[in-house]
Amino acid sequence: MADLGFARLDLDRAVRTGDPEVVFGAGKTPEQISAALARLCQAHPTRAVLATRVGEEARARCRETLPGADIDDVGRTVTLGPLPAPRGRVAVVCAGTSDLPVARECATTVAVFGAEPDLVVDVGVAGLHRLLAERDRIAAADAVIAIAGMEAALPTVLGGLCGAPLIALPTSVGYGWHLDGLTAFLTMVNSCAPGVVTVNIDNGFGAGVAAARVARQSVRS
């Protein structure tokens, strides 16, 4: 453990689970986020460490203080250190461009947790031909994450098109009374397609971790 005063970092998590601790940036100051990332990188010099939900000021601070950091302004992530060699592939399938912040967070998490992300964007079921055109690419993945807001039909449709483990990720995107993603969540958790499991609203990190671990297991020798 490393006691930074404002946080006690779990430096042994990678030994127990295969993956280092991740910094959740929401509610933390820019200085706290950059300091935590720097300490985690020091403890894990051979592989990437990650911070999620990093605000604009904190991303600017990381650019100034963490040379070599990979910063995604859309996904609001900061990655420091070399990515692990990928084992397995995860199709990160995004219904609409408005879902991209969650999809990018998800794809970055997949890469940091040791699998190859394949981001497939703007294939919502309102234009079914766009999804069908990518069906073979998606079905070849070791795991699939289906990301959608609105009526959130994408995971159910994908569940009938491919047999890979499928994680449904609802987003808080939609017109009118979408209840900050609750409508999408209820649609996904009540999917009639077999093999669909659902994570919490906008939880790109959680979906990415789960899918990466599935993909890694699928290619074990």
> How high is the pLDDT of residue 176?
80
- Is residue 221 pLDDT above 60, yes or no? no
Phi first, then psi: what are they for 197, rounded to 5°?
-115, 150
To the nearest whole percent, how much of the chain has pLDDT over 90? 92
Name residue 170's amino acid. P
CATH architecture, domain defined by 89-218: 3-Layer(aba) Sandwich (3.40)
- Is residue 123 pLDDT above 80, yes or no? yes
Per DSSP bridges, beta strands 196-198 and 8-9 are unpaired
Burial of 177 (0-12, 13-18, 19+ CB in 10 A): exposed
Widest Cα–Cα separation across the chain: 54
Number of alpha carbons in the 13 Å side-chain half-sphere of residue 203: 15
- Is residue 27 pLDDT above 70, yes or no? yes
> Which DSSP state fits 86?
P
What is the domain partition of the chain in residue ranges? 2-80, 89-218
Phi first, then psi: what are they for 98, rounded to 5°?
-65, -20
Average pLDDT over residues 139-167: 96
- Is residue 220 pLDDT above 70, yes or no? no
42 C-beta neighbours (distance < 10 Å), count: 12
To the nearest whole percent, how much of the chain has pLDDT over 70? 99
Measured in whole angstroms, how far is the alpha carbon of residue 199 from the centre of its chain? 11
pTM for the complete prediction?
0.95
